[in-house]
Amino acid sequence: MTLPDITQADSPEQLLAGLDAYITQAHALLEAKQMVELAGLDSVVSALCKRVLAIPTEEARPYAVQLDALHARLGELQQAMEQAQRAIREEMQATQQRQRASRAYQTNEG
């Protein structure tokens, strides 16, 4: 899973498409209980915003809906990551409880 490379030639559409694909991949990784790497995500989002701000207002207006959708998808990704983190924490606590119970049982048996 890689973020889109940022070049001077990238259009807002290209960056949006790359971010959309990245978010989709991140959700798939979370579903598979694999690590999601977010390093550099802010750079791509920043580049996208700079490109949209650099074009005339009338040309930039259509991007408002797409940027809102991107914002919503990033929020959903954040929620999914928080949920995965809670699940991992709960799984770790359950494992620790089982280990303590096992040690206590072994101590009582011995």
Domain containing residue 41: 12-109
Q: Is residue 4 part of a domain?
A: no
For tokens 């620790």, name the residue.
Answer: 96
Q: Determine the Cα–Cα distance for residues 68 and 60; give it in Å rounded to an integer.
A: 13
Q: Is residue 23 part of a domain?
A: yes
Q: Is residue 46 part of a domain?
A: yes
Q: Determine the Cα–Cα distance for residues 46 and 94; give it in Å rounded to an integer.
A: 40
Number of domains in the chain: 1
Contact 44, 52 (CB under 8 A): no
Q: Is residue 28 part of a domain?
A: yes
Q: Is residue 92 part of a domain?
A: yes
pLDDT at 110 over 60: no
Q: Is residue 60 part of a domain?
A: yes
pLDDT at 2 over 80: no
> Sorting pLDDT into bands at 50, 70 and 90, what band is 109?
low
**What is the per-residue pLDDT across 50-88, written as a single tens digit (0 to 9) for each?**
999 999 999 999 999 999 999 999 999 999 999 999 988
41: CB partners within 8 A, 6+ apart: 3, 22
Q: Is residue 1 part of a domain?
A: no
106: CB partners within 8 A, 6+ apart: none
